[in-house]
Amino acid sequence: MADWDWWPRFHDPSLRLSLRDQVAVHWDANVRMLRDWRACWTFVWISLLPVPLLAVAVVAVTSTFAAPAARLPVALGIGLVMLATYGFLQHVAFSVAMRRTYVPLVRMALAARGHPTCVACGHLLGPGAPAACPECGSATSGNG
């Protein structure tokens, strides 16, 4: 996770697409995703990983604090910390799921629309696409 960003990087920022082209690329990537049950399944299970943790935490906290109303502020504080922790973990899980499944499909959709893009890192390969990505070294065959 050396190059962790808070939102997946679909492609090189030097590629500027109109809103219409962005919508077309993401539409294409969504169709590609829906045709790939393995990508859909992987996306769902990674995205849902934090949910059992939340369920266990809720059960643990509610069984501990089913007590006098005087403890209500403490329970609310713990609830807020739990919510923030869950939100953080859920965002990380969603980002990992996007990166593993959807992001490569966006890059394939870009290549199919005349913007040869490295599926591994999002680097723009330019015309006469090389056999290996100059940015990350991944093989680029079948891309473009």
- Which tokens hold the place of 12? 């090189």
Residue 24 or 124 with smaller CB distance to Zn ion: 124
Residue 80 or 136 with smaller CB distance to Zn ion: 136
Q: Which of residues 102-121 bind Zn ion (CB under 5 A)?
A: 118, 120-121
Residue 122 Cβ, how far from Zn ion at the closest point, in Å? 7
- Does residue 132 bind Zn ion (CB under 5 A)? no
Residues near Zn ion (CB under 5 A), total: 8
Nearest to 108 by CA among 11, 37, 20: 11
Cβ(101)–Cβ(42) below 8 Å? yes
- What is the residue type of 102? Y
Residue 2 or 66 with smaller CB distance to Zn ion: 2
CA distances from 122 to 2, 51, 111 (A): 16, 30, 10
Per CB under 5 A, residues contacting Zn ion are 118, 120-121, 123, 133, 135-136, 138
